[in-house]
Chains A and B, each alone.
Chain A
Amino acid sequence: MKQLRIVILFCLVILICSACNASSKESGAAKVVESFYHAIVNQERDQVGTIACAAWEKTALREIDAFMGVKAELSNVTCSVKETNGDTASVICTGKIAASYGNEITDFPLDGRIHTVVKEQGEWRLCGY
C-alpha cells in the first residue's frame, strides 16, 4: 500500500511539473535563439538538432561550421520576442559575436537580424533569420 502511494505521488509530481512546463513556454522562443549563438561560439554541432527546425538544420550546421576552428565569444547577447503569431515568433537580439582570426578580431553584430522561430512538435525551433 505504501509503495502504491509512492507511485501515485510520483505521477502527481510529474503531472504538476508538466503543467508548470506548459505555463513557461513563452520565453522559449528567445531562449532557443540564444542557445543557437552559444552553440556557434562553443562549436557544438550536435546541439543543432535540438535548436534548428527541420527545414533550416542544414543551414544552421553551415553557420556553425563557418566558426569551426575560430575562437569566438558572445558579447552582451540578449534576445527577446518581438511578436508572436500562433506557432511562429519573431525574435530580435542585441549584442555581437566577436571572432578572432589570428590577431584580427571581427565583430558580427546581431542587432539587425530578425529571427524566425517556429513551434515544431511542441518545442520552439529556430528557422532562419
Chain B
Amino acid sequence: MGPGPRQGDGAGPPPPVAVARPVLVALAVLVVVTVVATAIGPADLSLGTVVRVVADHVGLHLPGRVSAIDQAIVWQIRLPRVILGGLVGAMLALGGASYQGVFRNPLADPYLLGVAAGAGLGATIAIVSASRATYLLPIAAFAGGVVAVSLTYLVGVRASGYATSASIILAGVAVAAVFTALQTNIQQQHAADLQPVYSWILGSLSVATWSDVRLIVPYVAVSTVVLLGHRRLLDVLRVGEEEATSLGVDPRRVRLTVVAAATLGTAAAVSVSGLVGFVGIIVPHAVRLTTNASYRVVLPVSLISGASFLILADLGARMLDAPAEIPLGVVTAFIGGPFFIFVLRSRRSRQGTL
C-alpha cells in the first residue's frame, strides 16, 4: 500500500498521489487518541495504574499492586470500549467514504441505503419482544440492516431494469421510510420500552465488551480489505460512469461489491453500537478537505481518522457528564458539526470536493 505510481487495475494509470504521509499522520493521531482515551475515564485511576494493568496483560510485569476492581475497570471495561469505538468509527467512516465514491454523492453516508432503518427495526423488535434477551439484539440489528439493503438493491434494479445510482438511492429512501415507519409504530405500541429503543437509536458503547470486539472484527476486516481494494476503481468512477465504462470499468459491478462490503461492515458495527450518526459523512469530507480528494488517500485515512474521531467522541460521552453517560450520537454531532464547519472555512480555497 505504498505511495508512488502504479498500474491502476487495467483502467489506465491514475496520476500518482502521496499516500504515505497522510496515513502516517493519521496513525500518529490515532495512537495519541487511543492512549489518552485509555488513560482517562470516570473512574479516577492514576496513569501508573493504567500502565501497570495494560503492561500486565501484554506480559510485562511492573512493580506495584493494582486492586482487582481497578484491573477490571481498565482491562474489562475501558479498553474494550476504546477498541470497539475505534472499530465502529473506522467502519462507519470507511463505509461513508466508499458510498460517497460509488454513488458520487457528497451526502451519501453508510446509512444511505437503509441499513440504519433496517437495523433499527431489528433492534426494536428484539427490545420489545416479550422474552427480551440482550444477546439477541446485535443479531436482530445485523439481520435487519442486511435485509433492508438487499431489498433496496433488488427494488432499485427492478424499478429501472438497470441499476443506476439514482434508482438505487431512491429505492433506499423508500425502503428506509417503510422500515422506519414499522419501527416507529412498534416503538409507540410498547411505550414501556421507549428508553432502551431511544438509547439504541442514539448510539452507545456503554456496554462494550471484548466479545463485542470479537463479534465484529471479522466483518470489519473483510469489509475493509474489499473496500480498500476498490480505492483505485473509485478514483476512476470519479470521472463519471460513462467515462469509467469506456476505460473498461463496470460501474454496476463496482457498486454492487462496494455496497455489499460496506453494508456487511456497517451492519456489524451498528449492531453493537447502535445508530451512531455523522461519522460516515463528516470524517471522509474532513479528510478530503485536509488532504486530497483521491480515494487512494481518502479511504485509508478515513478508516484511521474515523477510529480516532469516534474514540474521542466516546471519551466525551463518558466524561462530559460523569458519572452519567451522554448518548454517543449527540456527542458526534455536537463535536462534529462545529469541527466540520471549521475545516470547511479554513480550507475552502483548496480544491477538495468529490
Do A and B assemble together? no
Q: Which B residues form the contact surface with A (CB < 8 A)?
A: none
